[in-house]
Amino acid sequence: MVELETFEHDSISKIGGKYWFHEISEEAFPGQAFSLEVGEILHHTQSEFQDILIFRSISFGNVLVLNGIIQCTERDEFAYQELITHLPVMAHKNPKRALVIGGGDCGVVRELVKHDIVKEVTMVEIDSMVIELSVKYLPNMAKYHNHSKVNIVIQDGFKYLSDLANKNEEDKYDVIITDSSDPEGPAEEFFQVNYFKLLSNSLKKDGIVIMQSSENIWLNLNYVEDLKQKAEKVFPNVEYSQCYMPSYTSGQLGLLIATHDTTNDLKKPSRTVENEDELFRYYSGKIHESSFVLPTWADKQINGRK
């Protein structure tokens, strides 16, 4: 057991007799921070790739932190996991093969398994320690890591996608979900034009990709606009969606979804499921459509709406 009184970490401090985790990034969100009261330190380690901290918060349950940035909390993780998964799966008419790049907490895998139409799920995660710790401390998220239709590959996502480029059409994917860390350090490559090209070469002709945009309209609208423009250099059909997430700085997170199929209206589900209210806590057909509705000022800049 880790003694909170003697534990030292740059993101944790004692204020008024209580211990607080502070998420601070002068690069991503200068002038503000997000804080959670810490009840217990569950695990801390430095893996080959990153600093990993897991703590039990007073109000958000167990929290996974990578390099000082919250990745998920037990209280609200389902919102992000569901939207980033079900937007592309439900926008695709027949999504049989799905690929997850990153996503070591296995939350996206859990959501993909819910769809009977999805027959094969591959998750490519570079840091096996994130998976191991998620199984132990985030069991509701990682409960399907060993599911029969799930294949976990411990490898660099860029290497995996590069190898796919020369494969046959049947070896490529209907849906690719990039569940990466924020664009700092090595993860910055996930937010460049070359990465969109890798995604494009790994997709089937009518395939759909989705990725978290790191920023949202309140934190850095110019960055979101720039990222969408990068995607549009590769994909002719690109849309921006947003998810409500109280544990992410400013309470929202953006998602970028794209396809080469210009006939596919990504803002609307292509299919329906009968037991929607039993399968999902956040996602629904109405949420699918409404997540693309932006405030006027943001819509004008990102989508060029008049």
Separation CA 88–CA 156 (nearest Å): 23
Amino acid at 69: I
187 DSSP assignment:
G
Looking at 76, 127, 179, 182, which residue is catalytic? 179
Separation CA 79–CA 244 (nearest Å): 7
How is 103-168 classified by DSSP, letter by letter?
-TT-HHHHHHHT-TT--EEEEEES-HHHHHHHHHH-TTTSTTTT-TTEEEEES-HHHHHHHHTTS-
Residue 179 annotated among the catalytic residues of the structure: yes
**Residues 234, 194: contact at Cβ < 8 Å?**
no
- Residues forming a β-bridge with 120: 97
Q: CA 269, 248, 207 angle in degrees (round to 5)?
A: 30
Separation CA 97–CA 297 (nearest Å): 37
Separation CA 198–CA 162 (nearest Å): 6
Separation CA 251–CA 64 (nearest Å): 17
Phi, then psi, of 59 in degrees rounded to 5: -120, -10
Separation CA 272–CA 89 (nearest Å): 11
Separation CA 289–CA 265 (nearest Å): 10
Give the residue from 161, 114, 108, 158 showing the smallest Cα distance to 130: 108
Residue 8: is it exposed, middle or buried by C-beta count within 10 angstroms (0-12/13-18/19+)? exposed
User: Would you please indicate which residues are annotated as catalytic (active-site) residues?
Assistant: 179
